[in-house]
Structure 1
């Protein structure tokens, strides 16, 4: 058995009783969330619900929002919008990094071009200077 799965927030490590105890909710509450399709835990070979840390975090967030007066449907919508926002922020960050990398590459290419032009212009003027320095006779 590898311990890497313990670091995986999606690994279904908790049974229903354990999850309910950790969260301070009833098993019936967890079942109702599953029935409503709001939290979909994995199933063991015997059909028992298995919760991951991400599942537990979603249950906590749903519970907090409902405790603050939101309906379960409203709380679900809020969580979905938060997830969409997080995805968009990640996409924006990746796009910004890609743009910045492209700008750095462009700037490097422009610097190389300018250096090459200076070297070319310098090389063109060197023979002219050599002719002007010779004594005319």
Structure 2
């Protein structure tokens, strides 16, 4: 009798393993509604709407127009809030974020050029 239950349990586990897969999501996958995102960021929903109106964040939208925020969006929201907390106004925050984006692009280009130079030296 015990062997039967062990067999049933193992069959169930095997079936469960085959049907349950861990879903891998990237940091830019839009998951959170504005209410959840505001709660996670510790800010009012109106603040997130203001940040969007000022062009500081760009949440994804569903077909119905509902905002959806990703982990990347939340990180940016926290960064904007921190800069605002340090006394930087929203226009200044926009400039800071744009310069950071440009800096990141330039760093990637330099790294790519260095990698290309190194690979051509090996040949």
TM-score range, shorter chain: 0.7 to 0.9
Could you tell me how far apart the structure 1 residues matched to 2:60 and 2:119 are?
A: 41
**Unaligned stretches of 5+ in structure 2?**
1-20
Question: Within 5 Å, which residues of 2 pair with 1:1-137?
Answer: 3-4=23-24, 6=25, 8-105=26-123
Q: Deviations over 1:87-113 (max 9, x none)?
A: 1111101100111111121xxxxxxxx
Asked which structure has the greater RCO (Cα within 8 Å, sep 6+), the reply is: 2
Contact 2:54 2:90 in 1 (8 A): no
1:135 aligns with none
Could you tell me how far apart the structure 2 residues matched to 1:104 and 1:68 are?
A: 48
TM-score relative to the length of structure 2? 0.78
**Deviant stretches of 4+, over 3 Å:** none
1:117 aligns with none
Contact 2:32 2:70 in 1 (8 A): yes
C-alpha displacement of 1:2: 7.4
| 2:30 counterpart SS class | coil
Q: Which is higher, the Rg of structure 1 or of structure 2?
A: 1
Instruction: Please identify which structure carries the higher helix content.
Output: 1
**Unaligned stretches of 5+ in structure 1?**
106-137
Could you tell me how far apart the structure 2 residues matched to 1:65 and 1:34 are?
A: 16
